[in-house]
Amino acid sequence: MLSVKIVMKSINDIDIKVQLCKTSFEWEILAEKYSRLRDELETEFKDSEMPKEIFDALERVRGALVQKKGEMPPQDLLNFFK
Amino acid sequence: MGLIKEIGLAVKQELREYLVRELEAIIKTEADVKAFPKSVEKPVQKVEEVKPATEPKAEEKTQIKPVPAVEEKAMAAENSDKPEEPKEEPRREIARLNHEKIEKVLYNERPDYLLIPVDIFSELRQLPADEFALYVKFLALAQDQKKNYGYLGNNIRKRIGAEEMSQDKFREITDNLVAYGFMSTENITELQRTFTLYVPFNEEYMVRADAPQKSVKAEPEIKPQPKPQPAPKAETAKPEPAPKQQPAQPEKPMQKKGQKPDTDEAKPGRKPAKQAKPNTPKENRQKPEIPGKPVDGMENDDMYKSYKTFVSLEIDKAKMRVGRSNFDKIYMEAVKYIDKKYGFRVLSDQEKFQEYLTNYYISAFDIPTFEEWKKTKA
């Protein structure tokens, strides 16, 4: 059984790191971490409802990650057009 | 008598001037000596100590001796500098660990795991920590970009997450990797270098870049050749927020062409990649193409290449038209839109994100879709 406190701490850790993140490389690592955590939680709460507190925190971090991605220099599309 | 007297006066005058000059020189040297730091004073004091013994030649000594003092200082400074240069350790000799041929390869698809055969790993283990880390980073990059070669510059440092490493250090480590036989580099110009990473060849995932690229080229041909599906305006013209979706679900149907969906899906419990692979291309062929996405294996390949160039230029033009800050805002909107519509995971999938981003730009900047563009060309 997961402890809500520990989960919340993990989510908040990612949140803080997102605020400090400066490069795309860091962002990708955090996004991966977030996705993994989200997957684990979804598996954990497959049969029951996810606590609102956790769900809200996950959404908040997701929002922060998306915002951060948008603030970073626009993606270079050069490779795409090769 | 008058003449002798004048000669006497002239000699006196000369002597006076001579003495004044001497005194001035002495005063000047003393002032210089005081101005020097203590460490330099000593040799000058020694000079002065010598002076009384050879008084008549005082002028010569005072004028000449301070110079060595300064020289000594300069010499000392030089000496303190010099050792630094030789301290740059002569490059240690490195025994080659890997004797396999380094060749350029292309990945057919991204493996779900980092492929390092055990026998290679036993050689890799012998590398120093920095070299080992950089090799693994390069290997991960090679799998990500689906080729084991590219330019070796600042951009690559950023891409592998080694931007904090100094340029010199990076160069040194790559040179060491070359010496160990895990990488080869080539100088294109003075400033540009390319690299080819040693990657253990795996027929299942790779083809040789130099060989006729059967599997890479053939893949698009196998595909049913759908009519290129341009971005339908109705779907993408207005990036209106899509209805809220469950975050984990939306991106699943988007996976195609055997792409690795996300690294976090490579969990220990998952089936090995080999088993999962054969299904993916089939599934993908059935899936609808993304509007505006360059479609592989099109009938009219040249035409499509021209279209891609056209889109690229149009985006560049639009960027200049709207200005940097507005373009940044549009980018931000695009990121939010892609997140809402296709799910969060797409944001960290470089290839898909670029697809959707291009699609978004096509809509946002009213760039003609492929069909429209083709009509104008015809």
The 10 Å CB-count burial string (b at 16+, else e) for B2-35 is eeeeeeeeeeeeeeeeeeeeeeeebeebeeebee
Place of tokens 């959707």: B356
Are B264 and A77 within 8 A, CB to CB?
Answer: no
Three-state secondary structure readout of chain B: CHHHHHHHHHHHHHHHHHHHHHHHHHHHHHHHHHHCCHHHHHHHHHHHHHHHHHHHHHHHHHHHCHHHHHHHHHHHHHHHHCCHHHHCCCCCCCCCCCCCCCCCEEECCCCCCCCCCHHHHHHHCCCCHHHHHHHHHHHHHHHHHCECEEECCHHHHHHCCCCCCCHHHHHHHHHHHHHHCCEEEEECCCCCEEEEECCCCCCCCEEECCCCCHHHHHHHHHCCCCCCCCCCHHHHCCCCCCCCCCCCCCCHHHCCCCCCCCHHHCCCCCCCHHHHCCHHHHHHHHCCCCCCCCCCCCCCHHHHHHHHHHHHHHHHHHHHHHCHHHHHHHHHHHHHHHHHHHCCHHHHCHHHHHHHHHHHHHHHCCCCCHHHHHHHHC
- Sheet arrangement for strand B193-197: B149-151, B193-197, B183-187
Residues B356 and B253 in one domain: yes
Residues B364 and B234 in one domain: yes
Instruction: Give the burial class of B231: count Cβ atoms within 10 A of its Cβ; 0-12 exposed, 13-18 middle, 19 or more buried.
Output: buried
CB B203, CB B104: distance < 8 Å: no
Are B347 and A32 within 8 A, CB to CB?
Answer: no
Are B353 and A75 within 8 A, CB to CB?
Answer: yes
Which residue would you say has higher pLDDT here, B10 or B114? B10
User: What is the distance between the alpha carbons of residues B117 and B202, in angstroms, rounded to a whole number?
Assistant: 10
Instruction: Out of B52, B87, B122, pick the residue that ends a domain.
Output: B87
Q: What is the model's pLDDT at position A81?
A: 60
Residues B324 and B185 in one domain: no
The 10 Å CB-count burial string (b at 16+, else e) for B185-194 is eeeeeeeebe
Residues B201 and B250 in one domain: no
B341, pLDDT greater than 50: yes
Which residue type is seen at B275? Q
Q: How confident is the model at residue A14 (pLDDT cuts 50, 70, 90)?
A: very high
Which residue would you say has higher pLDDT here, A37 or B250? A37
Residues B275 and B318 in one domain: yes
- Across B39-48, B242-251, B268-277, B300-309, the highest mean pLDDT is recorded for B300-309
Write out pLDDT tens, residues B152-190: 877 788 778 887 888 888 888 888 888 888 888 888 766
Write out pLDDT tens, residues B310-328: 888 888 888 888 888 888 8
CB A81, CB B308: distance < 8 Å: yes
Angle B363-B368-B369 from CA coordinates, rounded to 5°? 80
Are A35 and B159 within 8 A, CB to CB?
Answer: no
Q: What is the model's pLDDT at position A79?
A: 59
Q: Is residue B213 part of a domain?
A: no
Which residue would you say has higher pLDDT here, B293 or B256? B293
Residues B244 and B318 in one domain: yes
Identify the CATH number of the domain in which residue B195 sits. 1.10.10
User: What is the distance between the alpha carbons of residues B276 and B258, in angstroms, rounded to a whole number?
Assistant: 9
Which residue would you say has higher pLDDT here, B277 or B98? B98
Q: How confident is the model at residue A64 (pLDDT cuts 50, 70, 90)?
A: very high
Average pLDDT over all residues of chain B: 67
Are A32 and B348 within 8 A, CB to CB?
Answer: yes
Residue A9: alpha-carbon gap to chain centroid: 13
Instruction: Out of B208, B238, B254, pick the residue that ends a domain.
Output: B208
Q: How confident is the model at residue B228 (pLDDT cuts 50, 70, 90)?
A: very low
Q: Is residue B120 part of a domain?
A: yes
A42, pLDDT greater than 80: yes
What is the count of structural domains for chain B?
A: 3
Write out pLDDT tens, residues B79-119: 545 444 445 555 667 777 777 888 888 887 777 777 777 77
Q: Is residue B16 part of a domain?
A: yes
Report the residue from A32, A34, A79 with minimal CB separation from B263.
A32
Q: Is residue B94 part of a domain?
A: no
Contact residues for A42 (Cβ-Cβ < 8 A; gap 6+): A50, B248
Q: How confident is the model at residue B51 (pLDDT cuts 50, 70, 90)?
A: very low
Q: Is residue B218 part of a domain?
A: no
Residues B303 and B231 in one domain: yes
| A32 vs B: CB within 8 A | yes
Cα–Cα nearest to B236, from B333, B304, B307, B305: B333
Interface ipTM? 0.86
Residues B371 and B231 in one domain: yes
Host domain of residue B172: 105-208
Q: What is the model's pLDDT at position B134?
A: 87
Residues B153 and B193 in one domain: yes
Residues B179 and B307 in one domain: no
What's the whole-number mean pLDDT along residues B269-283? 38
What's the whole-number mean pLDDT along residues A23-35? 90
Q: Is residue B343 part of a domain?
A: yes
User: What is the distance between the alpha carbons of residues B302 and B222, in angstroms, rounded to a whole number?
Assistant: 18
Residues B59 and B160 in one domain: no
Q: What is the model's pLDDT at position A12?
A: 93
Q: How confident is the model at residue B215 (pLDDT cuts 50, 70, 90)?
A: very low
Which residue would you say has higher pLDDT here, B33 or A74? A74
Instruction: Out of B38, B54, B87, pick the residue that ends a domain.
Output: B87
| B154 vs A: CB within 8 A | no
Pairing of strands B183-187, B206-208: unpaired
Residues B282 and B240 in one domain: yes
Residues paired with B196 in a beta bridge: B149, B184
Which residue would you say has higher pLDDT here, B363 or B52? B363
Q: Is residue B285 part of a domain?
A: yes
A57, pLDDT greater than 90: yes
Neighboring chain B residues of A74 at a CB cutoff of 8 Å: 327-328, 331
Q: Is residue B95 part of a domain?
A: no
Q: Is A76 helix (H, G, I), strand (E, B) or coil?
A: coil
Q: How confident is the model at residue B289 (pLDDT cuts 50, 70, 90)?
A: very low
Are A31 and B344 within 8 A, CB to CB?
Answer: yes
Report the residue from A27, A66, A77 with minimal CB separation from B358.
A77
